[in-house]
Amino acid sequence: MQKPKIAFIDDEPRILRSLKMHFRQSHDVFITTDASELMKYVSEHDVQVVISDQRMPDKQGTEVLRDIKAASPNTLRILLTGYADLNAVIDSVNEGEIYRYITKPWQNDELKQIVNKATEIAQQTQEITQNTMQGNDTQKVSGGTGSNRNILVLDDDESVYQQIKSHVKSAYTVSWASNLEQAARLLQKKRFGVTITDSTLNKENITPIVYALKNIQPDLMVLMLTEFKDAHMVIDLINKGQVYRCLPRPTNFSIMSISLDRAFDHHERLLEQPILAARHHVEEVTESEALNFSERLKGFFAKFRGWRIIR
């Protein structure tokens, strides 16, 4: 039986040798320090997973993974780096649409678990990804407008909702929740394709809401609209929330419109091919994390039986 293929790129040969040794029993491992060499290999082989360091002499890891995404849509992309640089982390979402962001030094068992899951997902989706992940505008799924293209804006600033509603006009139906209670009621009444949310609501951190919503509805595309200050928060949004885009405040509504259209197109592809939702697999919220949630967060989660906590 042929082993699945994995490729690593790093500027340190010592790290590459270590990674190859760790994965050679389970994978056909390719290692390189050269981005052009990596692209050549990926173009000639069905590679399930590519793992890139961020800081390299000729090219940033986010650029490498962006190119991999274009050349091989089925390949799952992981950034493995010792530098939690905020701009790089945001770029890894917006440009590379990465599966996971892992910081050095890594735990071998944890890395192995993540890579095995990514490999499994890539193998499951390989047959259909080429047709559905290319971003071909001629292959819209529903092509509908109005009530069947629902957006939820979760923000305590009404002007943000009004601006978004005005900007998208009749292309989408925009609903607004200024608190968790309103959000819960709306989510129980409607199925939303995209949510636009801040990381805080009424001065409370609501990023766990994102994690939970992706567990409940993997095809929901999340656009984070916030003042990003903490790289580790964005890393969690990638690993636990699989956010689709990170959009900084103040808002550029032209960029938001492009992101929104692409997010909804992606949502509709996932509806057509539900197996692709596996590519947005998120880490479940642990029981220890859940214990730290506020009563308001717990009250929100209690309304959705599909929300899961690892036990």
* Separation CA 222–CA 214 (nearest Å): 9
Counting residues of the chain whose pLDDT is more than 70, the rounded percentage is 91
Mean pLDDT of 276-304: 80
| Least confident among 86-90, 99-103, 146-150, 280-284 | 146-150
Asked which of 80, 101, 130 is the last residue of a domain, the reply is 130
* Total domains present in the chain: 2
Please report which confidence band the pLDDT of residue 195 belongs to, taking 50, 70 and 90 as the band edges: very high
Q: State whether 84 and 175 are in the same domain.
A: no
In a domain, 295, yes or no: yes
pLDDT given for residue 145 in this prediction: 42
pLDDT given for residue 144 in this prediction: 44
Give residue 23's domain range: 5-130
Buried b (16+ CB within 10 A) or exposed e, 37-71: ebbebbeeeebbbbbbbbebeebbbbbbbbbbbee
pLDDT tens, 236-249? 999 999 999 999 88
The dihedrals phi and psi of 137, each to the nearest 5 degrees, come to -65, -15
Q: State whether 122 and 63 are in the same domain.
A: yes
Please report which confidence band the pLDDT of residue 112 belongs to, taking 50, 70 and 90 as the band edges: very high
In a domain, 212, yes or no: yes
Please report which confidence band the pLDDT of residue 305 belongs to, taking 50, 70 and 90 as the band edges: low
pLDDT tens, 116-143? 999 999 999 987 765 554 545 444 444 4
For tokens 């979402």, name the residue.
93
Strand, helix or coil for residue 47: coil
Chain mean pLDDT for the chain = 87
* Separation CA 284–CA 291 (nearest Å): 14
- CA 112 to the chain's CA centroid: 20
Q: State whether 51 and 170 are in the same domain.
A: no
In a domain, 138, yes or no: no
| Helices (H), ranges, the chain | 13-23, 35-44, 61-71, 86-94, 108-132, 158-168, 180-189, 207-216, 231-239, 253-272, 287-291, 295-302
In a domain, 136, yes or no: no
Q: State whether 126 and 162 are in the same domain.
A: no
Cβ-Cβ contacts under 8 Å for 154 (sequence gap 6 or more): 177, 183, 195, 196, 197, 198, 201, 206, 209
Q: State whether 95 and 24 are in the same domain.
A: yes
pLDDT given for residue 307 in this prediction: 53
In a domain, 309, yes or no: no
Of the candidates 139, 169, 132, 133, the residue with the CA atom closest to the CA atom of residue 151? 169
Cβ-Cβ contacts under 8 Å for 269 (sequence gap 6 or more): 132, 133, 141, 276
Q: State whether 84 and 197 are in the same domain.
A: no
Please report which confidence band the pLDDT of residue 75 belongs to, taking 50, 70 and 90 as the band edges: very high
In a domain, 107, yes or no: yes
Strand, helix or coil for residue 7: strand
Cβ-Cβ contacts under 8 Å for 251 (sequence gap 6 or more): 160, 163, 225
Q: State whether 74 and 115 are in the same domain.
A: yes
* Separation CA 117–CA 281 (nearest Å): 9
Q: State whether 21 and 156 are in the same domain.
A: no
Tell me the CATH number at 27.
Answer: 3.40.50.2300
Asked which of 88, 103, 130 is the last residue of a domain, the reply is 130
Please report which confidence band the pLDDT of residue 45 belongs to, taking 50, 70 and 90 as the band edges: very high
In a domain, 121, yes or no: yes
pLDDT given for residue 268 in this prediction: 92
Strand, helix or coil for residue 101: strand
- Residue 306, judged by CB atoms within 10 A of its CB (0-12, 13-18, 19+), counts as exposed
Asked which of 72, 101, 130 is the last residue of a domain, the reply is 130
Q: State whether 232 and 188 are in the same domain.
A: yes
| Least confident among 87-91, 103-107, 124-128 | 124-128
DSSP state of 210: H
Q: State whether 215 and 298 are in the same domain.
A: yes
Region for 289 from its dihedrals, namely left if φ exceeds 0, alpha if ψ lies in -120 to 50, beta otherwise: alpha
Q: State whether 63 and 197 are in the same domain.
A: no
pLDDT given for residue 56 in this prediction: 84
Identify whether 250 is preceded by a cis peptide bond (ω within 30 of 0).
yes
In a domain, 142, yes or no: no
Q: State whether 294 and 170 are in the same domain.
A: yes
